[in-house]
Amino acid sequence: MRALETRFVRVVREADDWDLGPLVDDLCGVDAGDVGDHEVGLVDAAGRHEAMLAKKPFELASKEEIDPNEQDRCHATTLAPLADTDNRSVTLERGLELIRAGDYFEAHEELEDEWRKAPTAERDFLQGLVHIAVAWLHAARGNRPGCERQLEKAARRLGPYRPRHRAVDLDVVLEDVEGAQALVRSGSLELPRPRV
């Protein structure tokens, strides 16, 4: 490669104000004569002697008290579930029906409501069912990593409740989860509906 040859470039004339750029007055509306040398710096910078004390952020008071142990996702409130003779609540039954129908998002909402009200011993079981609904929802939306994670969580949470808990045959459910994991590993997100 050759160096540039100036013989092909010619200057017609040089501007009279070529050395002038934007001035302080142009940028911030302050006359340069009013600014001392010690005051020149970045507009957003503060010197060490100018450090400001941190202000406490202003927060409006909450209109309702929220239990910090509960998740608050602004879900609609539901009536307290009615328990039937099988120890299955109406909310749990509705969540399982929604999973069977393929309405996974709605199922996850119902099951989360049940999970919030459940005693500690039941929470992992209900959370496992939520993971199943969310795994199938991720599969339907084409989110392979999300589906894989949710299937793994469902298997981990539901395993200790085998073979049957609250009239749910967990051997069958976990068999479906394992089958779904194999399908997802093979690259398919076409999962058959879980048998809950």
Tell me whether residue 152 is in a domain. yes
Amino acid 89: pLDDT: 79
Tell me whether residue 45 is in a domain. no
Tell me whether residue 44 is in a domain. no
Tell me whether residue 36 is in a domain. no
Tell me whether residue 173 is in a domain. yes
CA 162, CA 99: separation in Å to the nearest integer? 20
Return the CATH number at 175: 1.10.3450.10
Amino acid 69: pLDDT: 58
CA 158, CA 170: separation in Å to the nearest integer? 7
Judge residue 144's burial from the number of C-beta atoms within 10 Å of its C-beta, 0-12 exposed, 13-18 middle, 19 or more buried: middle
pTM of the model: 0.57
Amino acid 80: pLDDT: 42
Where in the sequence is the domain holding 154, given as residue range(s)?
90-185
Number of domains in the chain: 1
Amino acid 175: pLDDT: 97
Amino acid 90: pLDDT: 87
Tell me whether residue 65 is in a domain. no
- Each residue's pLDDT, cut to its tens digit, for the chain (196 residues) gives 566 555 555 655 666 666 666 665 565 666 666 667 766 666 555 555 665 556 666 665 656 555 555 554 544 444 344 444 345 578 899 999 999 999 999 999 999 999 999 999 999 999 999 999 999 999 999 999 999 999 999 999 999 999 999 989 999 999 999 999 999 999 999 999 999 9
Residue 168's φ and ψ, nearest 5 degrees, are: -110, 125
Residue 3: how many CB atoms within 10 A of its CB? 5
Tell me whether residue 60 is in a domain. no
Tell me whether residue 124 is in a domain. yes
